[in-house]
Chain A
Amino acid sequence: MQDEPRPSEIIGAVAAFLKTVVVAETSGAVAFQARVAANALEMMRRQLELAVAEDAAEQGRLGALLAMDGDLMSLNRELAARIARGDMDLATPGLKAHLWATTLAKLAVDQPTYAAYRAVLAERGAEG
């Protein structure tokens, strides 16, 4: 077992350093790049925190949908191939729900402030 603080905590601290100190001390392209770098680290922090559980859930859904075992990459390749061949489409039971769950999990890491993502969460929250 590695020691604390955990990776996500340290990454968060580096992102905060870039965003507050470096951005304030620089200007123009460097300040812009520092802000982009901080955002990239925040994204990686979210991935470290969310991906293990989300990947396991995705793998479970894919296994059920495709009725086969495999790692995430090979299962996704198989699903892509079946859709490309026309063997599966949005009418296939479970596929639409799987695509939504997988895509929302990506957005939670990549771009949780994306307006369309917020809108979908709000709609789902209202329904739930």
Chain B
Amino acid sequence: MIDLAEGLGEVARRRLGGEAIAGLARLTAGATQEIWRFDLVTRVGARPLILRRAPGGERLSPSAVGLETEAELMIAAAAAGVPEPAILHVLTADEGLGHGFIMSFVEGETLGGRIARSDTFAETRGFLARQCGEILARIHAMDEAAFPGLTRSTPGELIARYLEAYRATDWPRPVFEVAFRWLEAHCPAPRAMTLVHGDFRNGNLMVGAEGVRAVLDWEIAHIGDPMEDLGWICAHPWRFGVIDKPVGGFGDREDLWAGYEAAGGAPVQRQEAHFWEVFGSMRWGVMCGGMAAAFRAADPSVERAVIARRTSENELDLLRLLAA
């Protein structure tokens, strides 16, 4: 692996029509993807760009689709009318910078708490849920056959996968047991599968006054039941404290569904949507629970330990959903 600034300078000259790069700065800490901001210096001025790269350039977990596929998904999504940054370059092996891609910098807010609560977005919150529904309909209309490498899962297979992940933690959680039994009993019948973003939620949307400017973080995209995406954005973990606004802490389900159906999405069944909300709390709960093992192995940070301790939030949310 060569020096990032040096390597990016080389990419700027050879692939991006620039003369150099300037102001390289990492925007995220964290153990998932690296996000770097830098300026592409050209004869006419400086253009702000973003590098999204696997940690240290190396590929991360096997469940992620890989940065190259992420870039392809974002290009295809943009063609389908989904707001996305322009993908300018996908890193190649000979460049020595690992896996990643370079995209245009989109100005906006991604912090879920600000989108849900700040006065700046008071007006935006009025139409954001409907807009999210419209965008999801476009994502689900994308040609899934163009992505044969993505995992295909029925709802039942997803439940089984998370049950296995929970069992692997070897930490008894009676509330999760109740939730898994409920999910198995209420599992929707398999329907026509579509491309599923997989992590479409407040926090992964770049938002401005006029609404969504970019849909980010395609790393767990898969093929499955499209209702999963509609439930995930309503799941309790992504309401950022505004618990009476189910859609990301900023909107109402009816607006999300109306936008989805108006833009060509399949009719939303209330019961199925509820299933996927419960699934969302269980899913995030299992992911948090798994952080304890990650804390003891790959990432012994205080932050990781504290996220593991957020598992109980999901147990409370599950009880509110299933045992009120």
> Which A residues form the contact surface with B (CB < 8 A)?
29, 32-33, 36-37, 39-40, 43, 73, 76-77, 79-80, 83-84, 86, 89-90, 96, 99-100, 102-104, 106-107, 110-111, 114-117, 119-120
> Which B residues form the contact surface with A (CB < 8 A)?
29, 172-178, 180-181, 236, 239, 241-243, 301-303, 305-306, 309-310, 312-313, 315-317, 319-320, 322-323
Could you tell me if A29 and B29 are in contact, using CB atoms closer than 8 angstroms?
Answer: yes
Could you tell me if A36 and B303 are in contact, using CB atoms closer than 8 angstroms?
Answer: yes
A66 to B306 Cα, complex, angstroms = 31
Residue pairs across A and B with CB atoms within 8 Å: the count is 87
Measured between beta carbons, the chain A residues less than 8 angstroms from B323 are 90, 96, 99-100
Could you tell me if B306 and A39 are in contact, using CB atoms closer than 8 angstroms?
Answer: yes
A107-B312, A116-B320 given as contacts; is B178 within 8 A of A90 (CB)? Answer: yes
Which residue of B is nearest A111, CB measured? B313
Could you tell me if A36 and B316 are in contact, using CB atoms closer than 8 angstroms?
Answer: no
Show 7 A/B contacts (Cβ-Cβ < 8 Å), sorted by A.
A32-B29, A40-B306, A80-B177, A103-B315, A107-B312, A107-B313, A111-B309
Could you tell me if A116 and B172 are in contact, using CB atoms closer than 8 angstroms?
Answer: no
A36-B306, A83-B181, A103-B312 given as contacts; is B174 within 8 A of A116 (CB)? Answer: no
A111 to B181 Cα, complex, angstroms = 26
Partner of B172, one of A36, A77, A99, A110: A77
Could you tell me if A103 and B310 are in contact, using CB atoms closer than 8 angstroms?
Answer: no
A73-B172, A76-B174, A99-B178 given as contacts; is B317 within 8 A of A110 (CB)? Answer: no
Partner of B175, one of A99, A110, A117: A99
Could you tell me if A110 and B309 are in contact, using CB atoms closer than 8 angstroms?
Answer: yes
A89 to B179 Cα, complex, angstroms = 10
Could you tell me if A79 and B172 are in contact, using CB atoms closer than 8 angstroms?
Answer: yes
A114 to B241 Cα, complex, angstroms = 7
Measured between beta carbons, the chain A residues less than 8 angstroms from B302 are 33, 36-37, 40
Measured between beta carbons, the chain A residues less than 8 angstroms from B310 are 110-111
- Closest beta carbon of chain A to B8's beta carbon, Å: 21
Could you tell me if B320 and A120 are in contact, using CB atoms closer than 8 angstroms?
Answer: yes
Measured between beta carbons, the chain B residues less than 8 angstroms from A84 are 177, 180-181
Measured between beta carbons, the chain B residues less than 8 angstroms from A107 are 312-313, 316
A79 to B177 Cα, complex, angstroms = 9
Measured between beta carbons, the chain B residues less than 8 angstroms from A104 are 316
Measured between beta carbons, the chain A residues less than 8 angstroms from B313 are 107, 110-111, 114, 116-117
Having A33-B301, A83-B178, one finds 17 other A-B pairs with CB under 8 Å, namely A33-B303, A37-B302, A83-B181, A84-B181, A86-B181, A90-B322, A96-B323, A99-B175, A99-B323, A100-B323, A102-B174, A104-B316, A106-B312, A111-B313, A116-B316, A116-B317, A116-B320
Could you tell me if A80 and B243 are in contact, using CB atoms closer than 8 angstroms?
Answer: no
A80-B172, A83-B174, A110-B312 given as contacts; is B303 within 8 A of A99 (CB)? Answer: no
- Closest beta carbon of chain A to B129's beta carbon, Å: 19
A79 to B178 Cα, complex, angstroms = 11
Partner of B243, one of A32, A106, A115: A115
Could you tell me if B312 and A99 are in contact, using CB atoms closer than 8 angstroms?
Answer: no
A77 to B169 Cα, complex, angstroms = 13
Measured between beta carbons, the chain A residues less than 8 angstroms from B180 are 84
Q: Which 6 A-B pairs have the closest CB atoms?
A: A83-B177, A106-B312, A80-B172, A76-B172, A115-B241, A77-B172
Measured between beta carbons, the chain B residues less than 8 angstroms from A110 are 309-310, 312-313
